[in-house]
Structure formats: structure tokens, C-alpha cells
Structure 1
Amino acid sequence: MNNFKKGILFAALFSSLVFIGCSNDDDDDDLMGNWVKKSAFDGPARSSATSFVIGDYAYVATGYTGDVYLKDLWAYNSTGDYWEQKADFTGVGRSSASSFALNEKGYIGLGYDGTNKLKDFYQYDPTSNSWTQKTDFAGTGRYAAVGFQAGGKAYFGTGYDGNYLKDFYQYSDVTNTWTLVNGFSGNKRRNATAFVIADKVYLGTGINNGVYQEDFWEFDPATDVWTRKRDIDKDTDDDYSYNDDYAIVRSNASSFSMNGLGYVVGGESIKTIWEYNPATDLWTERTPMEGASRTDAVGFAINNRGFYMLGRVGSTYFDDAWEFKPLEEQNSDDN
């Protein structure tokens, strides 16, 4: 082959590679949503922390640094974008605990302290900045369970106690008691995630014996009824096209909801974020997390603003914090 023909072939191959690279970049550019870096977390970098939101503040507690199981508590002021340390959690330090807010109090329980799977349970009063131990969780000691509150009712469920679990218990702050709630026919799992929209709970993702779970559920606390929604796996073999591009299944993800939509972000070696619309039962991919991919991070929403922070990749632990703005185009120059 003469040099002229070689030159043409090389130019064609180079152009193809550039085109493919630009096409991939364009795919990301077409996605909506902007990630804005916020004030870094003031405590030690960590993974597997837990959080609850009361008013204009998010409270982040416990977690694991790679060496130490933590029990500190930090409050994030979303208006001023700063952190304040609060009274330490009075249980043992732990990771993978569960939490919720109920009637202007925060609650944390369950988790793992490096030796034991835990079932103790505590209430935090932000007015007095104090903790009170409450009745132990009525199920088995466990970690990597979900916690949520909707319609004035609060729950812990799923997780891992040496076996994968699917049970749910409701907590009453009036009687300080737990009640087993029946009716969830989904798969057992740990490291699932849940978000709340209009007093209904949406639960999905997680893992069971190395298999990512694809079932997705809506729970109505007013009727105690679980309803299975469309699965979140990619499936090009069925008669539908809505899920041909889905890449939602994962574990150790975070979630939050704002303006009537739910968001699932991150997880094991994943930095994508997907938006759920309960009116259509459909998911839309948004701009991937701008920071490092991470697992065991924390997600929450304050006054319809979504935040995502902490976590780890391998043995590297993070203390950065991000806000996701779904209606803006990605702007890498604002961080």
C-alpha cells in the first residue's frame, strides 16, 4: 500500500475515533441537571453515615472512616451553606445505621459496630440538642436497612442480620412501641434506598446474594398497601421501549425527592442519577455526578433542594458535598 493510501486510511480511522468520542460526549451533554459543589463536610471523611431532615437543617451522624466507627452528629444549614457540630449520638459508634424524622425529632437505630449487628434505637431533640434512648427495634439486629417516614408514620425494614431480610416495622412515638407490618411481597435485600413523594414511599435497588434487585415498589402508609411498579432493569426483549436504556439497578445508592420527583444516585462504582416520575411510572437519566463515583454516600432533600455527599471508593473516603439542580444545564465552570 503506498503512502498516499496509508494516509487516507489513517485519516479515516482517526476521524471515526473522534466522531465516536464526540458522540459519547454529546450523550452526556444532552442530559439535563447541574451539580454544584457545596461547603465540605466539617467532620472526618466517612462512608455509611445516616441522615434525617428537620426544618431547614439536615443532620448527618455516625459512619465509618476505614478505621473508626463514628458517633458524631453534624447539622447542615442549607440557607447559609455551613456545618455545626451537635451533641454526639449516645449509642456506640456504628456504620450502616437507619434513620428518619418524626414530629420534629430525629431517630437513629440499627447498624454495625465492627462486631455486632445492632437493634438499639435513639431519639434526638434539636431544641435541647440531646439524645434519649428509646425501645429497641422489635426485629432482629441488622444493618443496611431502610428507614423512612411518610404521612406521620415511620418505619425500618429490609437489611441484613446474617440473612437478607424483607420485614418492616412501624414505630409509634406516642406509645414508644414497634409493630410488625405485613404485606411487602418484594424480594429480600440489603442496601436498598427509599424516597417519599406526596406521603407515599418508593423503594427499590439493593442486593441479595450478589444479585442486584430489579423490583420497584410504592407503599401507601394510609392503607398499609404495597404496590409493585414497573421493574427498573434494562429489558430489550419485551414489547416495551421505555426500559431499553435503563441502567438503574444497583446497591448502596442514595436517594432524595423534590418537586414531586424522586432521584436515585450513585452506588457501587456508579455515578449516574435517574429521575422517577410517579405520575407516569417512568425513569429519566440526568447528568451524572460531577465528583468522584462513590458508594455508601448520603442523600437528602431540604425544602425541595437535593444534596449528595460523603461515601467512599475502595479505601478512599470523601468529605465533599454537592447539590443537584435538575432544571439547569450542567456547568463544569461553577465548581
Structure 2
Amino acid sequence: MNILKKGLLFTTLIINIAFVGCSKDEDEDVLGNWIKKSTFDGPARSSASSFVIGSFAYIATGYTGDEYLTDLWAYNSDGDSWEQKADFIGVARSASSAFELNDKGYVGLGYDGTNKLRDFYQYDPATNQWTQKTDFAGTGRYSAVGFQVSGKAYFGTGYDGNYLKDFYQYDDALDNWTLVTGFGGNKRRNATVFVIDDKAYLGTGINNGSYQVDFWEFDPSTDVWTKKRDLDDDEDDHDTYLITRSNAVSFSMNGLGYIACGENSKSIWEYNPSTDLWNEKTALEGSARTDATGFAINQRGFIVLGRSGSAYYDDSWEFKPLEEQNDDDN
């Protein structure tokens, strides 16, 4: 069994113990509705990476349980359809990281079954071509976060044989990486990030078998990380939070952030940056899953793919946070 599989199995065992029970009374109503969308046309997979350009989300690489992948797929959110694009030109991998910058997609890092990777590639949707760029300046790693906020793009955290907390900024004009200092959070892999109003919010993940509860806001205009309310906060003025997890997905829409799924979980939590509080929403109506892919397109949130144990998924779901749950629309 390779290192990545062992880590996922260990994480799954831990989460099955940690998430027994629920955070709200079972009779208490929560808001939110899930609508099943067009099934992914490629092989079912987990640990894919994604980026969004215009009204399209692009899904690259991943792992089927038997093989690592190089294919690239575009989801047309207007037409609810999938189209295969030019294959990723790096080695097949899973647990890579990605971001969008200046209308181009970037994918790098990851794990190929043997090696922890640091190569880095640009995808141009206008030409449907990939170009290799300067290797990531940090160590080869997998399960790092990638994000772009206010025109600045970053890779950080992850696992290179040790758990990490470093961050590097990518400059596409110079095609180089710069170490960014100042993150005061804990080391981790399998964290998740969403962006609201030119600030990035990072949380969840795991470090040496311990789920990370710290939650951080990053302001790219000052390069300052600010600690926010912990994800396991249980003060008397609000519901107890059960957000801590790893291998989750996240996205933001309409000024609010969302963290969902992770290790056989299907719960989703909504974050309000103006109050620094979370609110539980209707759980995913599909199967509970880990290593899924989440993204937002034009203020619409989606969760696709993922796995539970040895079952790999190819379904796609859109989340409507202001609607009541309706089982008849799936």
C-alpha cells in the first residue's frame, strides 16, 4: 500500500469515530437544497484539482482507485454539460493543487504513486494547450492548498514527508515563486480555502493524526494572516460547531463561505465573515464522501466526484443555500 493510500485509510478511520453524533437537534430544520446535475463524463475519481474560468469549471487529474489520471474536463455551467479537453502534460497524479490567474488555469504538485511532485503547468482555454512553467519553489508535496485572491496566486501547506505550513506566491509575468512569511497557523495537509471580498479563508486539515481547528483570514494587500474563531468553538451564544475535518471541499458565493464533506461526511457549514460565525445547512443529498472537488461559478456552488472507502463517484451537485430541501428535484 502506498503512502497516500495509508494516510487516507488512517484519516478515514479517525473521522468515523470523531463524527458520531450531530451538532443540531434532529428535529431542527436547516435551510438549503441540493440539485443533481449532469453526471461527470470521465472516469469516477477522487483527489482531482479544479479551477474556474468564466462560466466553466475545469477538473484535472485524480485517482480512480486503480490508476492516476491526466485527463482534463470542462463543465459548462450554463448548459450543464461536460467536455473533454487537452490532457494534462505532466505525469499522472492525484492530490495536486490548482488556481486560476489572469484567465488561465495552473496545476502543480501532487503524488504519482511514488513521488511527491513540484512541477507546475499552465492551461490556456483559448488555445486548449498546456505549457510547463517554472517548478514550484518549495519542496515536492501533495494535498496542499492553491488559491488566487485579488490577483495574487498561492500554493501552501501540504505533505512532503513532513506536515507543512509554508506559502509561496506565483508571479505569472516573471514566471517565478516567492516565499511568503507570516502564517501563524499549524502545519497541515488536506486543508481547504475559499475567497470572499479579496480575502482568503483557510481551515480544516490534519497534522499527525490531529484535526486542525484553527481558522485564518489572509489579506493579500498586507500579507497578513488573522486568526478567526476556532472551528470547534462551543461558546454559549451559538450552536456547537462540528466543522473540523480534513479532505473537505469549499467554495464561496454571495459573500458567504461554505465547507462541506470530508471523510464519509455530507454536512455543509456556511461562514459569515461579518460575524465570524458558522451556520449548518442541509447536508449533501448524495452519498457522504471524502476527496471530492468543490467550486463556485458565478455565485453558484457545486460539489462533484469524491469517494467513500473503495467506492468512487462521478455525480455532480449544485447547492442552493436559500431554498428549502426538496427531494423531488433530483
TM-score (norm 2): 0.92
The aligned runs of 1:209-248 (5 Å cut-off) are 209-235=208-234, 240-242=235-237, 244-248=239-243
Determine if contact 1:48/1:64 at 8 Å carries over to the other structure. yes
Please say if residues 233 and 243 of structure 1, whose CA atoms lie closer than 8 Å, have aligned partners that are also in contact.
no
2:230 counterpart letter in structure 1: D
Aligned residue type for 1:288 = A
CA RMSD of aligned residues (A): 1.0
Task: Note if contact 1:49-1:63 (Cα within 8 Å) is conserved in structure 2.
Answer: yes
Q: Which amino acid aligns with 1:287?
A: T
Conserved? CA contact 1:242–1:282, under 8 Å: no
Structure 1 distance, partners of 2:40, 2:221, is 37
What is the CA–CA distance in structure 2 between the aligned matches of 1:164 and 1:25, rounded to whole Å? Answer: 37
* Correspondence 1:166 to 2:165: yes
Q: CA deviation at 1:245?
A: 1.6
Matches within 5 A, 1:1-335: 25-27=26-28, 30-235=29-234, 240-242=235-237, 244-335=239-330
CA distance in 2, matches of 1:93, 1:34: 35
**Partners of 1:322 and 1:102 in 2: CA distance:** 25
Rounded to whole Å, the distance in 2 between the matches of 1:224 and 1:273 is 29
Q: Secondary structure at the match of 2:69?
A: strand
User: Structure 1's 243 and 179: CA in aligned 2 closer, same or farther, altered over 3 A?
Assistant: farther
TM-score normalised per structure 1: 0.90
Take 1:64 and 1:305, find their aligned partners in 2: how far apart are those partners?
26
- Structure 1, gaps ≥5 residues long: 1-22
Would you say the 8 A contact 1:310–1:318 is kept in 2? yes
**How far has the Cα of 1:26 moved from its partner?**
2.5
Deviations 1:9-43 (A, max 9, x none): xxxxxxxxxxxxxx96523xx10000000000000
The 1-side partners of 2:69 and 2:307 are apart by 15
CA distance in 2, matches of 1:288, 1:83: 25
Quote the offset at 1:242 in angstroms. Answer: 4.0
Count of residue correspondences: 307
Deviations 1:156-179 (A, max 9, x none): 000000000000000000000000
Amino acid of the residue matched to residue 176 of structure 1?
D
Stretches of structure 2 lacking an aligned partner (at least 5 in a row)? 1-23
Structure showing greater radius of gyration is 1
Is the partner of 1:333 in helix, strand or coil?
helix
SS in 2 for 1:69: coil
Q: Secondary structure at the match of 2:148?
A: strand
Match of 2:190, SS?
A: coil
2:328 is paired with a residue whose SS is helix
Cα distance change on mapping 1:140 and 1:132 into 2, 3 Å: same
- Asked if the contact 1:234/1:243 (under 8 Å) is kept, the reply is no
Cα drift, residue 152 of structure 1: 0.3
Whole-Å separation in 2 of the counterparts to 1:151 and 1:61:
24
